[in-house]
Structure 1
Amino acid sequence: MDEPIVVGIDIGTTKVCTLVARVEGERTMRILGVGIEPSQGIRKGNIVDLAAASTSIARSIEKAQRTSGFEITSALVSLAGSHVASVNSRGVVGISGGVIDELDVARALEAAQAVAIPHNRQIIHVIQRSFIVDGQDGIRTPIGMHGYRMEVEAHIITAAESTVENLRQCVQAAGVQVTQFVLNPLASAEVVLSETERQMGAVVCDIGGGTTDLAIYIDGDVWHTMVLAVGGNHITSDIAHGLRLSIDQAEEVKKRYGHAVESEIAENDVISVRSFGQEAPVQVNRRDLAHIIEARVEEIFMLVLQEIKRSGYDGLLPAGMVLTGGASLLPGMKTLASSVLGLPVRVAKPENLLGLTDQLNSPAYSTSVGLLHWALLLSEAEPLQPRRSFLPRGINLDGDRIKNFLKRLLP
């Protein structure tokens, strides 16, 4: 059998990244094609200009096709934005034959979706947390077990239908069908979380340009997800206002001289910037720059802490936080996150990659690479193609395949 080719398109506020990869061996990817293009017409994960966004996406796809030599016809696409919401639900079914089969699991998941969802929202993911068979809880894969009554605990992620359809329209304008939308932190978690962290309890925090995406994993499952509409662009905007610079200059200053902890900068450390209305560069104390950055980053982590506490799982995260996304590259982020949250923090990036990986060994590409791993999970359930189903799109109810899929999705 040919090794599967998987495609992911990460549509972010700052960049569009299309990756084409071949699966080699157990969970090892060989990157065959990379297409990275600056984003236009996208703000905080939402499409604000259809034509500009379509052009950026089409250019990214074209670059990936040129470098890989493959024509891209379908792909998994990342999704973020403050319109994303999640809810935990339960579904209960009776087992008629006495032995649980794939259809019973599917019926239980369908029952779990019987929650009040507004007409302008659509379900993106239905993720099985665990099963309860005849009162026995903590069951991972119930297929083949004996029982009369089965419950499933599911995590349901919804998004604004209009926003999702706008994104789908932009991708289809480039001649590519959307196999499934995948929430950013779930994709990132596929590559940055270790098995131990998933089991012990950890939160993935993906700080991008326009959004901060959270996913809480406990006992190997997703228990809570959230997207906050703040990110690295807010830090850049603060620098632009504070030092009276253009946005492009502020971004450059942030990358070259930025630091998230003011106290770690020497008092006599100065940098040269050309402000508006100044003909010659002026000297600015680097601590002033760090003061601006620290205030905004602290606010972002306070919002993250507030969201973790609101979920009710703040006491169940001994493995702490795994920080990823482009903004996590800023020096001092790890230190400040740990002091605000009171949790152990590490910064993670994609690993175990082969092929065209020069640019991808960075936290900024965790979601992009994670989409490929998610595509691998689906390709093991069935070849990538849209399918009408009450399971997440792309999963077919075929015996051995769904057993394997459930095992992979529920470690």
Structure 2
Amino acid sequence: MLKSNIAVGLDIGTTKVCVVVAEKDEIGKLNVLGKGRSNSDGLQRATVVNINKTVAAIRAAVADAERESSIRIHGVNVGISGAHVHCIHSNSEISINQTGIVNDSDVKRFLEKAKTNIRYLDIDHEIIHVIPQEFIVDDQEGLLDPIGMAGTTMRGSAYIVVGLRTKIRNIKQCVEKAGLEISAVTFEPVASGMAVMKEREKKSGVVVIDIGGGTTEVAIYIDGAIRYSEVIKVAANDVTHDIAHGVRALYEVAEDLKIKHGCAYSKLSGEDEDLLIEGIEGRTQKSVPKSSLTMIIEARMMEILELVRDSVQRSGYYEYLNAGAIITGGGSLLPGTEELAHDVFGLDVRIGYPEGVSGGIKGSVNNPMYATVMGLVAHAFQNNLSADHSFASTAEILPVDVPQGSREEPLVQEQTPSGKKIVDRMKKFWDNL
């Protein structure tokens, strides 16, 4: 039996791979049927560095989602991010069809012309998707949906997302080697925004900040459409590395300290106490003041938020953010992040949880770390990507293990020079423990 009302989102992150299977109910809400999650170490800063590890992580997450949903997954909407992805504003103008009423064909021609109007798109880059920003039918401005409007000409602007072919190809190669079909590729800041924004915020002006493991993604929405985006190569993993360096502990121990005792804002850290740290390779345990842990975390989180603030100010849209900022992603879970962001941005701030989820295993995805994958599902439904050939109903589970001794697949290497490295501003703590 084919299931045409089901969509699957696949978020391949720096620290985790998430899969969500969902269907749409009669009122347009998402009913989550199953989810899967696995640890990932095949990516760095949202870029694939190890094909086999990434494939294995995808297979493991997919198997969990299939087991929970009893649905065999074939087609997925996969997210893509990284500093190599950037966006171009493009203007377009067409004549409306002979009936004088805007139809779907007119909108498609408008977007195709917006793509052809792009300048300086070299052969190393490809278009991921085209997002309309505004339509103007004759003298009627500010239209987000022009279908049915009467007129003779339609003009406006589109937001075109482009990325490096080699890095997009590596992501696609991993998905296909995991036995999946790619229904669509979606820029992750778009997906995260779709998951956590309320419609009034989107219209009023809001910046969505997704703090992931390897990257921090920024997307600005004004008057109901995306206007600006950027991917910053500093994120939650950097916080963990700073802790490991500051307290001289294993990365896993530092991550555990961050999750259990971390705070991003010293004014909220509360009463100080000594925290026990496991010794490396059988060495004696040691203790560290909680206040020092907070200082380490606050320093890096402040850097991340200041980089975001600088990005927003460069965009020219800071003054239009009437709804303030929404922070989501796993990095937003650190206590004090909301308060620190308010101080840094000078804006109203809230933590973003997935919106529009009505039933199924709703509680299992009610977490900012699932914002991107839930947005990928929502984006699939919005663009009618839940096709009959992509999703078949069966309880059979796909294999999750990469064969022992399998040879490492070569990565497709980028031909352009790497981007400028972000300077680490963190101060050194405790020369002697």
TM-score by length of 1: 0.89
Match of 2:105 in 1: 103
Structure-1 separation of matches of 2:164 and 2:71: 32
Residue deviations 1:164-217, cap 9 Å, x none?
111111011111111111122211222211111011000111101011111111
In terms of mean alpha carbon deviation, does 198-207 or 25-34 score higher? 25-34
Q: Which one-letter code corresponds to 1:103 in the other structure?
A: S
Please tell me whether residue 307 in structure 1 is matched to residue 311 in structure 2. yes
In terms of mean alpha carbon deviation, does 59-68 or 230-239 score higher? 59-68
Match of 1:333 in 2: 337
DSSP 3-state at the match of 1:315: helix
- Alpha-carbon contact 1:83-1:159 (below 8 Å) kept: yes
Match of 2:352 in 1: 348
CA gap 1:167/1:330 in 2 versus in 1, 3 angstroms: same
DSSP 3-state at the match of 2:319: coil
CA gap 1:308/1:190 in 2 versus in 1, 3 angstroms: same
DSSP 3-state at the match of 2:318: coil
1:2 deviation in Å? 6.7
DSSP 3-state at the match of 1:373: helix
Match of 2:58 in 1: 57
Q: Which one-letter code corresponds to 1:284 in the other structure?
A: V
Structure-2 separation of matches of 1:84 and 1:207: 17
Match of 2:199 in 1: 195
Structure-1 separation of matches of 2:360 and 2:320: 38
Match of 1:285 in 2: 289
1:348 deviation in Å? 1.7
Match of 1:152 in 2: 156
Q: Which one-letter code corresponds to 1:364 in the other structure?
A: M
- Alpha-carbon contact 1:19-1:369 (below 8 Å) kept: yes
Match of 1:112 in 2: 114
Match of 1:131 in 2: 135
1:101 deviation in Å? 2.7
DSSP 3-state at the match of 2:150: coil
Structure-2 separation of matches of 1:34 and 1:99: 43
In terms of mean alpha carbon deviation, does 339-348 or 352-361 score higher? 352-361
Please tell me whether residue 89 in structure 1 is matched to residue 90 in structure 2. yes
Residue deviations 1:270-324, cap 9 Å, x none?
2111344883222211111111111100100111011101111010001000111
Residue deviations 1:33-56, cap 9 Å, x none?
211110121111110001111111
Q: Percent identity?
A: 37
Structure-2 separation of matches of 1:197 and 1:268: 38
- Alpha-carbon contact 2:4-2:386 (below 8 Å) kept: no
Match of 1:397 in 2: none
Structure-2 separation of matches of 1:263 and 1:330: 14
Structure-2 separation of matches of 1:189 and 1:33: 22
Q: Which one-letter code corresponds to 1:223 in the other structure?
A: R
Structure-2 separation of matches of 1:19 and 1:258: 29
Q: How does 1:222-241 map to 2 (within 5 A)?
A: 222-241=226-245
Structure-2 separation of matches of 1:262 and 1:81: 31
Match of 2:251 in 1: 247
Please tell me whether residue 296 in structure 1 is matched to residue 304 in structure 2. no
1:370 deviation in Å? 1.4
- Alpha-carbon contact 2:91-2:155 (below 8 Å) kept: yes
Residue deviations 1:335-361, cap 9 Å, x none?
110100100000021243422244311
Q: Which runs of 4+ in 1 moved over 4 A?
A: 275-278
CA gap 1:329/1:138 in 2 versus in 1, 3 angstroms: same
Q: Which one-letter code corresponds to 1:270 in the other structure?
A: D
Please tell me whether residue 35 in structure 1 is matched to residue 40 in structure 2. no
Match of 1:70 in 2: 71
Structure-1 separation of matches of 2:259 and 2:10: 25
Counting matched residue pairs gives 385
1:158 deviation in Å? 0.9
Structure-1 separation of matches of 2:267 and 2:150: 61
Structure-2 separation of matches of 1:96 and 1:268: 70
Please tell me whether residue 366 in structure 1 is matched to residue 371 in structure 2. yes
Out of 387, 393, 409, which is 1:383 matched to? Answer: 387
Q: Which one-letter code corresponds to 2:290 in the other structure?
A: R
Match of 1:406 in 2: none
Out of 126, 137, 152, which is 1:122 matched to? Answer: 126
Q: Which one-letter code corresponds to 2:74 in the other structure?
A: T
- Alpha-carbon contact 1:121-1:161 (below 8 Å) kept: yes
Q: Which one-letter code corresponds to 1:197 in the other structure?
A: E
- Alpha-carbon contact 1:260-1:290 (below 8 Å) kept: yes
In terms of mean alpha carbon deviation, does 65-74 or 294-303 score higher? 65-74
1:384 deviation in Å? 6.9
Match of 2:21 in 1: 20
Higher relative contact order (CA closer than 8 Å, sequence separation 6+): 2
Residue deviations 1:213-240, cap 9 Å, x none?
1111111111111111111000000001
Structure-2 separation of matches of 1:214 and 1:274: 36
Structure-1 separation of matches of 2:27 and 2:157: 29
Q: Which one-letter code corresponds to 2:333 in the other structure?
A: L
Q: How does 1:153-232 map to 2 (within 5 A)?
A: 153-232=157-236
Q: Which one-letter code corresponds to 2:187 in the other structure?
A: L
